[in-house]
Amino acid sequence: MILYHGTNSIIKSIDLSHSRVGKDFGAGFYLTPDEQIAQRQAERKFERFGEGKAIVYKFSVDDDLLNTVKTLHFDSYTSEWAKFVFANRKNRTLKQTHDYDIVIGPIADDVVGYQIRRVEEGIISEEQFLEEIKFHTITIQYMFATQKAVDLLMML
């Protein structure tokens, strides 16, 4: 399988200690199977930080090797996915709220992020949240949370 990572900096090796906290699935190395999404992420990071340049890295990972690590997979926006994302977005540390090596599931993009904030502020319920995003296009992300998982990636 081919996965892409968009950034504004040069990657010589993946260092999980540089992961950002408060992300959908926790601190880790995020990739997507959609090259255009990775390109948009790279451009956003460049615009946000104003340094480097928009870069998209391409990685391969053997599908069979994914079975050698503990993986959690969400196929769609569900109540379980929402609770998982809420817990991870509240976590402001590099210590994971879970014990998975890899988490796969929908991205909480700007539209979904807005709805998450509405739930957190008590404006809407979890049920209303799931209804609001029901027809939102799902874009999948892969989060590699441990060195064991990162070691499965090969930069192309």
Which strand (E) or helix (H) includes residue 87? helix 79-90
Give the domain ranges of the chain. Answer: 2-155
Task: List, for residues 100-154, the tens digit of each pLDDT value.
Answer: 999 999 988 777 778 888 888 899 988 888 888 877 788 899 999 999 999 999 9
Residue 61, pLDDT score: 97
Q: Pick the closest to residue 33 from 66, 58, 6, 3 (CA basis).
A: 3
Compute the distance between CA of residue 112 and CA of residue 99 in angstroms, rounded to an integer: 25
Output the pTM of the full model. Answer: 0.89
CB 42 within 8 A of CB 136: no
As a whole number, the mean pLDDT across the chain is 92
